[in-house]
Amino acid sequence: MKRFAIIICATVLAAACTSPRIDIASIANADTRIDRVEPLSWWVGMETPLQLLVCGANISEYDVIAAGDGSVEVTGVHKADSPDYLFVDVKVSPRAEAGTYFLVFSRGEERFKFAYEIAARREGSRERESFTTADMIYLLMPDRFANGNPDNDTVEGLEDGLDRDNFFGRHGGDIAGIAAHLDYIADLGATAVWSTPLLFDNEKGGSYHGYACDDYYRIDPRYGTNDEYRRMVAEAHSKGLKVIMDVVPNHCGTHHWWFENSPFGDWIHRFDEYTPSNIAFSTNMDPNASQRDLMLQESGWFVPSMPDMNLDNPFLLQLLQAVGCVVDRVCRSRRSARRYLPVQREDADERVVCGRSPRISEHEYRRRVLDVVDSATRLLAGRQRQQGRIRLASAVDNGFPAARGCVQGDERG
């Protein structure tokens, strides 16, 4: 009898831990009730934890579960300061198969579903190596490099159009121009192409440089499309060229979709008035540096159009780790403004997770600038060894399915 009772309890417990069986066809689609989910999709076999940012009007009022056989399940739901956000922890079991899964949102009798794709990892994605000091890297600024498609010089609805007479204006360079000159770059002896940011930057005036990112999952349409970017990278690979993608986790642009309604009040570094960075790199290494000087170096804004993001917020850090771990169809990635990013200090987690630094003393932190040796390749950037170590992000080269060529992929671990 006792054994029978134990079996019943075990059965009930197993049922409670399994995602409920739901007639998914009977549930309405989310339609306009969800504005945004990031990252846009994911992969089976990933070790990096998956946390979804879900944005929609009053979405925090809803409960969330994952429908299916339990191979994909919701393990935690976190509310933000804004009622329009939820952060959803999702566990993808090693037995999960690639495919479309559904998140089901419910409030009382109301229910709706959101389709989320978890794709297959590309074979060998863990083993690829990053760029090294042996590479000869050709650096270019796409707007000033070559104009291969005049049709996208000016895009309706965007702030800056073609203005070649303006030093800080758009001059028309694009992805098509880069693709047309890959033979030229290869013939120079280069082994890698590093483009300054190609992501969407809709700031008014000076957006040509691309460093005020307004969407981490979208190529700026004045450069081309996500699919064009994928094709350019594939062509570069066919010519023996690596492609380095420039991604900026330190700051975004004031036109970023989350800027006016951020999830948390501390999503960006806020001041009573505009406070610029002092760009005093030495404060990261000097144990005698003023705390205020160090704060201005790490938290001040570059310019008024580039709010400095607060990576001490764990939800933002997790979100940007996903961006950094999933750079699509790119051999390698470069994270700009790395020396501006703070590390976890006394209360830090001991794990190193996709750029998160281990616990180190204040003096050691400043001496080393950041603990950012690539954990997989153990590479250092030789030209900056005298100033400390800078991170070479994991080599990545997978497609980002939900974005149809968006600049995302997977991480080596």
**29 vs 390, more confident:** 29
DSSP 48: S
**Which residues, in sequence order, are CB contacts of 82 under 8 Å at separation 6+?**
60, 261, 262, 263, 264
Burial, 36: exposed, middle or buried (Cβ in 10 Å; 0-12, 13-18, 19+)?
middle
Instruction: List Cβ<8 Å contacts ≥24 apart for 386-390.
Output: 387/281, 387/285, 388/284, 388/285, 388/339, 390/338, 390/339
Residue among 355, 406, 366 at smallest CA distance from 218 = 406
Residue among 404, 405, 401, 379 at smallest CA distance from 390 = 379
Q: Examine residue 342 and say whether the peptide bond preceding it is cis (omega within 30 degrees of 0).
A: no
Please give the Cα distance from 165 to 170 (Å, whole number): 9
pLDDT, tens digit (0-9, with 9 covering 90-100), for 266-300: 999 999 999 999 989 899 889 999 999 999 998 99
Is the model's pLDDT at 375 over the cut of 60? no
Please give the Cα distance from 305 to 258 (Å, whole number): 14
pLDDT, tens digit (0-9, with 9 covering 90-100), for 297-352: 989 998 999 999 999 999 999 998 888 765 533 434 454 444 444 433 322 222 22
The DSSP H or E segment spanning 78 is: strand 72-79
Q: Can you tell me whether residue 232 is helix, strand or coil?
A: helix
Please give the Cα distance from 242 to 246 (Å, whole number): 13
* Average pLDDT for the chain: 78
Asked if 214 and 200 count as a contact pair (C-beta separation under 8 A), the reply is yes
Give the pLDDT band of residue 20 (cuts 50, 70, 90): low
pLDDT, tens digit (0-9, with 9 covering 90-100), for 178-204: 999 999 999 999 999 999 999 999 988
Q: 106 - beta bridge partners?
A: 63, 111
Cβ atoms within 10 A of the Cβ of 119, count? 18
